[in-house]
């Protein structure tokens, strides 16, 4: 099961309307939004994370491995 933990949004995107709807969508799912601002450019930094030139927004997911926790229990035969 994958759950969205956070959304990273570049603060330097142009035009701003490209990312204007993201905080509203994230709040409906109760996910925090972080604005990435940097001297080099937030969109360049986010793009570096996912190996592309630029990125306007990135969703960070965590994979829950609860099925592995269940498999650690000894099975009764």
- Please give the domain boundaries of the chain with CATH numbers for all domains: 2-67 (3.30.1330.30)
- pTM, two decimals, is 0.70
Q: Is the pLDDT of residue 42 over 70?
A: yes
Rounded mean pLDDT, 11-27:
88
Residue 47 Ramachandran class (φ > 0 left, ψ -120 to 50 alpha, else beta):
alpha
Radius of gyration in angstroms for the set of CA atoms belonging to the chain, rounded to a whole number: 17
Residue listed under structure tokens 């001297």: 39
């Amino acid at each position: 099961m994958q759950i969205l933990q956070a959304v990273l949004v570049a603060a330097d995107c142009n035009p701003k309307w490209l990312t204007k709807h993201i905080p509203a969508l994230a709040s409906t799912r109760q996910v925090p939004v972080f604005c990435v601002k940097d001297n080099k450019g937030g969109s360049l930094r986010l793009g570096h994370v996912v190996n592309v030139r630029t990125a306007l927004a990135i969703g960070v997911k965590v994979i829950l491995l609860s099925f592995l926790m269940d498999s650690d229990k000894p099975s009764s035969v």
